Structure 1
C-alpha cells in the first residue's frame, strides 16, 4: 500500500534531459567568461599598447640601450 504512494523514478532519457540542461549552462558560462576576458583584459591591453606606441621612438630607445652597453655589436660612444 505504501509503494502506491511513491512516484515512480524517471529511468528513461534521464541522462539526455540532464545533459541538455548542463550543456546550455556550460555554453552560457563560457560565453560570459569570454566576454569578461575580452572587455576586462584584452581591450584595456590593446588601449595600453596603442597609447605606448603612439609616442614611441625606436631610435631614441636604441640609443639609450647602446649607451647603457646592452649591445655587443654597437659599442657605446
Structure 2
C-alpha cells in the first residue's frame, strides 16, 4: 500500500520565512549591540573618566616642554 505524499504549500512561503528571519535578525542585532555597549562602551567610558580625574594638563605640558617635543616653546633650564 502506497500513501500519497501531500504537496508542499508554496504560496506565501517566502513571505512567511522572511518574517521569521527578519524577526530573528532584528532580535540578535539588538542583543549584540547591547552586549557590546555593556562590555566595551561602559568600560571604556569608565577608563576615560578615571584617567581624566587624575590628569593634570599643565604637568603634562611641562613634561613635554622639558623633553623638547615642542618646536615653538623653549625648554626650561
Fold in common (TM above 0.5): yes
What is the TM-score when the length of structure 1 is the normalising length? 0.92
Q: What residue is the counterpart of 1:17 in the other structure?
A: 16
Number of residues paired by the alignment? Answer: 76
Alignment correspondent of 1:71: 70
**CA distance, structure 1, for counterparts of residue 47 and residue 69 of structure 2:** 26
Gaps of 5+ in 1: none
* Runs of 4+ that moved beyond 3 A: none
TM-score, normalising length: structure 2? 0.92
Equivalent in the alignment of 2:25 = 26
- Structure 2 distance, partners of 1:62, 1:75, is 12
